[in-house]
């Protein structure tokens, strides 16, 4: 049957786009005494299901032939299957590896070698640290010795001593590892000599916080505060200056300048040579504050409290947080904390408002919407949506303003119209990062987001690079779950099996790799280059904008261990396209031009409010809502009445 599949590809042009496993859907197997062949079906009979006989990796070439047949179309011979970029390779394994369908034995070494082509030693050191932390290398010392010269190139230019250059590289990598939550002593690398290390004798956390570079522009922010921000700023700074402590909560809808206030406070305190720790519950929110970290990484939450792990660190143990000044802040109108399988009551009980500290906090309100200051009506509309005060019908639905809704025809082209409204003149702006990152399409579910991103990458100019993931069921020694089944899975938070990229396309990071340096779950980047085993990307938003980094494939597992009856692992670049993203992923970001695609109603508290409040004005928002019959231009908003 396989050789006749090759023959069918040779004879029939329309067969060359069909995988071997899918061939029975379009062709029937004809068998007579003297002739066997595939014949094209005369009519569609409902979609027959084909499969390729299973093979275990231990079977060697038979297994790799199967891998190729599950991914390669149009082959006319075994030799054709082994041909990659015009080169005939000796084995199916080498062909599968060259196509990126299986993981090679020296993938990590190749990723470092490929990165040296860009001549960016600091980025190469960061890649090395990333590989140590996330990629499970088996020969750390071998990688170190082979790539030390490339990683130390910049230091060797200014320092003739080979030992000194090596020590500077080690210290740099040590700092990067600590930023990622690891210690260099955990890896078989040379020791750092004391005479080269200026941080010896200083507590690591104190050293990190006291060496945060102060942005000069932030020191002038206090002069630009509005009246609400000024009142909050003065009250908090008064508590700090008098060393009286206190717990504050800054309450403000999206766009009222909470982050602006935080940056002003951080700049003032750090300018006084005091330590100000900036944390947030999400990585995206942390990345937009100077020196920001997630609370979980900075304070090692959840805390392990036992008799041996507690000590007295303050002379005011009777005061909240030992008399330190602590500022909380947020917007309860937004998407709330995720409680796995939690009920409405459990979600509300997990919020800060249910803490015993809530009533003792001093509440500071920000009400002026600075993000939408040019459109007062839009600011008021957002507040009504967030507070659940917008008029609803009997089904709990709100009517979306006609001027922000895209006209519907009921055809598939409606989504194309939304895309055209969001990304006008795309071909003329593919190289401009400001154009790409100043707009996005938001939706509530990953399948809708994936659909839009696939449409967008096909429209985007440039040569396409396709990366396949390496998938396995870790606890499946008998190969009950074949690779082609695992390839179809895309759990929440994981990249797709087939990742299609083009130069200058926008992507979003899916893992907290190095939050202190802007690489966190939700960071938006632009692809600047790619090789077989590494992607060159640039951070395009936030305080780390312009920073170039190299991303390797890393092993990823779903956050929900009970999602499958086996332990699923996917090794892939930890990114997705970000022409479109989920509403939850966009929380905490300002996106000047927002389109919202709602093929079904929003399904949780705060989603519509978050989606609408990402933009700066009504004229920059477009919505395509697919209503139920008789509910034209309406969208379910039941969850908005569930605010706590």
DSSP string, 145-163: HHHHHHHTHHHHHH---HH
Give per-residue pLDDT as tens, 286-334. Answer: 878 888 888 877 887 777 666 555 666 667 888 888 889 999 998 988 8
Same domain, 451 and 598: yes
> What's the start-to-end Cα distance of the chain, in Å?
63
571 lies in some domain: yes
**68 is a domain residue:** yes
| 401 and 281 within one domain | no
Q: What is the pLDDT of residue 639?
A: 32
In a domain, 639, yes or no: no
Q: What is the C-alpha separation between 608 and 382, in angstroms, rounded?
A: 9
Same domain, 62 and 144: no
Q: What pLDDT is stored for residue 311 in this prediction?
A: 63
Residue 105 lies in a domain: no
Confirm if 36 and 4 have CB atoms less than 8 A apart.
yes
- For residue 495, is it within any domain? yes
pLDDT at residue 515, as a whole number: 82
Asked whether residue 428 is domain-assigned, the answer is: yes
Q: Tell me: do 214 and 197 sit in the same domain.
A: no
488 and 597 both lie in a single domain: yes
Question: What residues of the chain score a pLDDT lower than 50?
Answer: 629-644
Range of the domain at 424: 376-625
* 433, 499: one domain: yes
Last residue of a domain, one of 183, 201, 219: 201
Q: Are residues 230 and 124 in the same domain?
A: no
pLDDT in tens, 250-271: 998 878 889 999 999 999 999 9
Report the pLDDT value the prediction gives residue 306, as an integer from 0 to 100. 64
Which single residue is written with the structure tokens 């303003």? 401
The total number of structural domains that make up the chain = 4
- Sign, Cα dihedral of 442, 448, 449, 455: negative
Q: Clarify whether residues 349 and 415 are in a common domain.
A: no
pLDDT at 46: 64
- The answer to the question of residue 307 being in a domain is no
Half-sphere exposure of 280 (CA within 13 A, CB side): 24
Distance CA 13, CA 21 (A): 17
> Contact, 495 vs 570, CB < 8 A?
yes
Considering the domain architecture, whether residues 137 and 193 belong to the same structural domain is answered as yes
């Amino acid at each position: 049957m396989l050789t006749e599949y090759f023959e069918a590809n040779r004879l029939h042009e329309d067969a060359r786009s069909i995988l071997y496993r899918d061939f029975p859907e379009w062709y029937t197997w004809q068998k007579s005494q003297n002739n066997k062949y595939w014949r094209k079906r005369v009519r569609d009979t409902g979609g027959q299901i084909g499969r390729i006989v299973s093979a275990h990796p231990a079977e060697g070439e038979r297994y790799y032939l199967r891998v190729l047949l599950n991914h390669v179309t149009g082959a006319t011979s075994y030799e054709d299957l082994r041909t990659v970029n015009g080169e005939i390779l000796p084995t199916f394994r080498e062909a599968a590896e060259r196509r990126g369908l299986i993981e090679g034995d020296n993938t990590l070494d190749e990723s470092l070698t490929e990165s040296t082509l860009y001549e960016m030693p600091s980025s190469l050191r960061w890649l090395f640290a990333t590989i140590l932390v996330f990629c499970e290398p088996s020969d750390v010392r071998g990688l170190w010795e082979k790539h030390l010269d490339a990683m130390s190139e910049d230091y060797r230019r200014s320092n003739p001593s080979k030992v000194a250059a090596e020590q500077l590289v080690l210290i740099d990598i040590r700092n990067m590892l600590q930023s990622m939550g690891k210690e260099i002593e955990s890896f078989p690398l040379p020791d750092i000599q004391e005479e080269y290390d200026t941080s010896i004798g200083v507590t690591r956390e104190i050293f990190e916080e006291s060496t945060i570079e102060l942005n000069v522009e932030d020191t002038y922010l206090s002069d630009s505060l509005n009246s609400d921000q000024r009142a909050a700023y003065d009250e908090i700074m008064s508590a700090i200056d008098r060393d009286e402590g206190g717990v504050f909560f800054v309450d403000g809808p999206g766009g009222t300048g909470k982050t602006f206030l935080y940056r002003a406070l951080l700049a003032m305190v750090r300018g006084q040579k005091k330590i100000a720790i900036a944390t947030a519950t999400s990585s995206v929110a942390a990345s937009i504050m100077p020196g920001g970290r997630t609370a979980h990484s900075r304070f090692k939450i959840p805390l392990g409290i036992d008799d041996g792990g507690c000590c007295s660190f303050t002379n005011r143990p009777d005061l909240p947080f030992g008399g330190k000044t602590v500022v909380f802040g947020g917007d309860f109108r937004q998407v709330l904390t995720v409680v796995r399988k939690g009920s409405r009551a459990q979600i509300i009980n997990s919020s800060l408002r249910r803490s015993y500290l809530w009533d003792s906090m001093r509440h500071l309100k920000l009400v002026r919407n600075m993000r939408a200051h040019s459109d007062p009506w839009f600011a008021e509309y957002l507040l009504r949506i967030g507070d659940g005060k917008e008029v609803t019908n009997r089904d709990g639905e709100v009517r979306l303003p006609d001027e922000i809704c895209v006209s519907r025809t009921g055809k598939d082209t409606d989504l194309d119209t939304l895309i055209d409204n969001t990304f006008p003149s795309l071909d003329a702006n593919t190289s401009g990062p400001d154009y790409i990152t100043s707009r996005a399409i938001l939706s509530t579910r990953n399948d809708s987001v994936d659909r839009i991103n696939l449409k967008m990458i096909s429209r985007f100019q440039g040569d396409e690079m396709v990366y396949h993931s390496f998938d396995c069921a870790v606890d499946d020694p008998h190969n009950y779950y074949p690779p082609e089944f695992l390839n179809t899975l895309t759990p929440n938070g994981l990249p797709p099996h087939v990742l299609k990229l083009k130069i200058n396309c926008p992507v979003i990071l899916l893992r907290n790799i190095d939050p202190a340096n802007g690489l966190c779950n939700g960071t938006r980047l632009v692809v600047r280059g790619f090789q077989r085993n590494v992607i060159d990307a640039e951070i395009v938003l936030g305080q780390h904008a312009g920073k170039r980094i190299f991303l390797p494939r890393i092993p990823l597992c779903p956050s929900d261990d009970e999602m499958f009856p086996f332990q699923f692992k996917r090794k892939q670049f930890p990114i997705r396209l970000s022409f479109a993203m989920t509403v939850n992923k966009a929380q905490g970001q300002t996106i000047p031009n927002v389109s919202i695609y709602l093929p079904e109603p929003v399904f949780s508290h705060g989603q519509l409010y978050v989606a609408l409040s990402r933009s700066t004005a009504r004229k920059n928002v477009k919505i395509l809502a697919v209503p139920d019959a008789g509910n034209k231009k309406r969208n379910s908003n039941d969850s908005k009445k569930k605010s706590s």
